[in-house]
Chain A
Amino acid sequence: MRILVINRKTLIWFILLLLCGFLAIRQEFNQAGPVSSLFVNYTPILNFKTVLLSIIIEALPFLILGVFVSAILNNFVSEEVLARFIPKNRILSILMACFLGVIFPICECGIIPVARRLANKGVPLYSIVSFILAAPIINPVVASSTAIAFTTNHRMIWLRLGFALIVSFLTGFILSYLLRGNELRKEDSTISHGCGCEHHHHEDSLGFPEKLIATFKDACNEFFEMGKYLMIGASLAAVVQTFVSRSILTGIGHHPVLSISAMMVFAFVVSVCSSADAFIAASFVNSFSSGSLLAFMVFGPMLDIKSALMLLGSFKLRLVIFLTIIISVLISIGAYLINIWV
C-alpha cells in the first residue's frame, strides 16, 4: 500500500490536475481537441469504438443486475432457504433450472455472478450449469425477438427453444455424473467484502442497514471481478465485427457439416446478446442451412468470448472444457439432424 501525503499542496495540485483534465476532455467532447482530430477521418477506429461501446453499454445493465442479485443472495438469503426451494431429485432440479430463465431473463453477463453465488451456497453444480445454459435462451424476451426476426418461419422459434432445452438438460445430466467436488476456482471461494479474508457470516445477526451496505460492497467487488471479462470479450468481439468481413463465410453456407461449424465459430466470436442474435441469424437465412442457423442461435448465448472468459474467471478450467466439449458435440449433432430431417 502506497502512502499519500495529504496536505494543502497536494490538494491544490490535485484540483489543478482535475481542472486541466476536465478542460481537455471537454475539448475532446466537442471534437476540437488534438486527439480527436487525429482520428476524425479514420473510420475503422471510430467504427470499432462504436461497436465496442455499444456492446459494453448494452451489457452493463445486466452485469450490474447480476452482481446485485448475487450480492442480495449472499446477504439476505441463507443456504437453508435455498435448500428448501431446490428439489432433491436430480432430474427435477435440472429441469427446474432450465426454466428459471422465464423469471430471471438476464443476459449471459449477469447470470454468471449469480451462478457462482448459488454454487457457493450449495446448489448442486449440474443444476447451475443447466441454468447458465438455458436462461439466456428460454425466456420470453428472446422468444419474442426470435419470433420477430423469423416472421415467416415460426418453426424456428420452437426449434430454437426445444433445441436449447434439450441441450441444457442433457448437459446438466451428463455433468451430474462427471463432476465430483467443488468446481469453483480456489481463490474465489472467498469472495467477500473485499478484505480478502475468509469469514462466514450469519445473515440474521446483522441489521438491515449493515446488510444493505454489505450488499453494495459485495456488488462492487463482483463488478470488478466479472467486469474485466466483459471488457476483454467486448473488445475482441468488436475487433472481429469491425475488421473481419463476413464474406469469409460465404461459400460454405450449404455444406451440411461445415456450415454448422462455421456458424458456431461465428457465434462464439461475434458475441452478441441473445435477444439480438436472432436477427443476425435471420440475415443469413438464404445462404445458410436452418440447422446451422439454429446452431448459431443456441451455441452463441451458451458460449461466446465474453461468457467463456467469465466462466474461466469463476470456475475451474476443467469444468469449462467439459462444458465446451459437451455442448459443441450436442449442438453439432442436433443441427446436423435438423438439417437432414427438417
Chain B
Amino acid sequence: MKRPRKELNTEALIRSIILLGFSTLLLWLVISGKIIIFINPRYTFLSLITGAVMFAMFLIQTCQIFIPKPVACQLHSHTHSHSHNERAKWSYLIFGIPLLIAFILPTTFLDPSLASNKGVSINTQGSITNQSTPMVYVPGSTPQMQAGNNSTNPQPYPSQTQNTQRPLADDLRSAKLINVTDENFVQVMVELNQHYKDYLGKEISLVGFVYRDKDLTPRQFGVLRYVITCCTADASPAGVFCESKDPINLKDGSWVNIKGTLRTEIYQGEESPIIQITSVVPAAKPENPYVYP
C-alpha cells in the first residue's frame, strides 16, 4: 500500500541546512576554542550568542519544511514564480561554499607568509619622504609627530609627542632584561618604538616568527607577530628588527626565541633602533601565535 505523497517545502529545507551549518560552525569553534584563530577572544561571547540565535532560527525554519507554500503565491504568473524559485535555489550556493570551505579545509592560524602582503614597514622603496622609518614597527605609533616634521630640523628626541602615557616605562627602565611576553608584546613594542633611546644597551628577549626581506642583508631579519584587533582580516605584523654577527640561515616564518641588545643603526641616512642578537634559538610555535593590543 503506497503512502500518500507529501509535498515538502524544499527551499525551507535548504535554508534549514544552511542555518544548521552556521550555528554548528560557530558553536563548534567556540567550544573547541578554535574561534581565537579567527577573532579577538574578547568577542567570543558574541559568536556564542549568534550561534545560539541561529540555532533557534534553524528550528523555526525546520518547522516550515512541513508547511507547503501558501496557495496565494501560486496566483503569481506561472513563469514568474518558476524563475524565482530556480534563481533562489542557486543563490543558496553562495552560503554553501563558505560553509564547505569552513568544514572541509583544515583550520589553521594565519600563516607568517602573509606578513609581507600585510605590509611590514622596514623601508618604503622610492619614498620621497625624509622621515625616518622605524625599524621597530608597531601599528599606530610614530617616533615623531606627523605634522610639522621636516628633515632640516630633525627632532633629536620625541619630546613633542602628545602621548603622555607610558605605563611600562618605569618597569622597563629598571629591569635588567626586557622580557617580552604574549601579554605585554604590543605595549612593549609601542614603548620601544617611541622611546628607544631610553633603552639603548638593554637586553631584550622575545618570541616571534622570522621575517626575511630582500631589502635586508643576510645578517638582518625581523622577528614579528601578528597583532589582531577585531578579526584576522585586520592582522598587522609587529615586532623588532635584528642583526646578528653571522649570516642567519633561518627559514622565513619559522619560530624563534631571540635575545639581544638594543642599539641604533644608521639606516638610509636616519637613525633607527635595532636589536644586536646575542642568541637565537628555535622555538615552538606558541599555542596562540597572535597578540592583542
A binding-site residues for B, Cβ under 8 Å: 1-7, 25, 28-29, 31, 33, 35-36, 39-40, 43-47, 49-58, 60-61, 64, 68, 145, 148-155, 194-197, 213, 216-217, 219-220, 223-224, 227-228, 231-232, 234-235, 237-238, 241-247, 249-251, 253-254, 270-273, 275-280, 282-287, 290, 342
Contact = CB atoms under 8 A, between A and B. Distances in A.
Nearest to A44: B113
Contacts of B128: 254
Interface of B: 3, 5-10, 15, 18-19, 22, 26, 29, 35, 37-39, 43, 46-47, 49-50, 53-54, 56-57, 60-61, 64, 68-70, 72-73, 76, 84-85, 91-92, 94-95, 97-98, 101-111, 113-114, 116-119, 121, 124-129, 131, 133-134, 137, 139-142, 145-147, 161-163, 165, 190, 194, 227, 229-234, 236, 293
A68 B6 CA distance: 32
Given A39-B106, A232-B94, A276 B229 contact: yes
Given A36-B105, A149-B140, A254-B128, A51 B232 contact: yes
Given A25-B103, A28-B103, A238-B233, A246 B139 contact: no
Contact of B139 (A39, A235, A271, A283): A283
Given A68-B53, A280-B236, 10 more contacts: A4-B7, A47-B110, A216-B56, A220-B61, A251-B125, A272-B230, A273-B230, A275-B230, A276-B229, A286-B133
Nearest to B46: A61
Given A1-B85, A286-B142, A60 B98 contact: no
A241 B61 contact: no
Contacts of B98: 52-53, 56, 231, 234-235
A152 B145 contact: yes
Contact of A5 (B5, B69, B131): B5
A50 B108 contact: yes
A45 B104 CA distance: 12
Given A58-B39, A342-B147, A152 B142 contact: yes
A253 B127 contact: yes
B142 A153 contact: yes
B142 A46 contact: no
Nearest to B50: A61
Contact of A220 (B35, B57, B101, B146): B57
B236 A49 contact: no
Given A36-B106, A53-B98, A250-B124, A276 B145 contact: no
Contacts of A29: 103
A153 to B, nearest CB: 6
A194 B128 CA distance: 58
Contact of A279 (B19, B70, B110, B139): B139
B114 A47 contact: yes
A3 B5 contact: yes
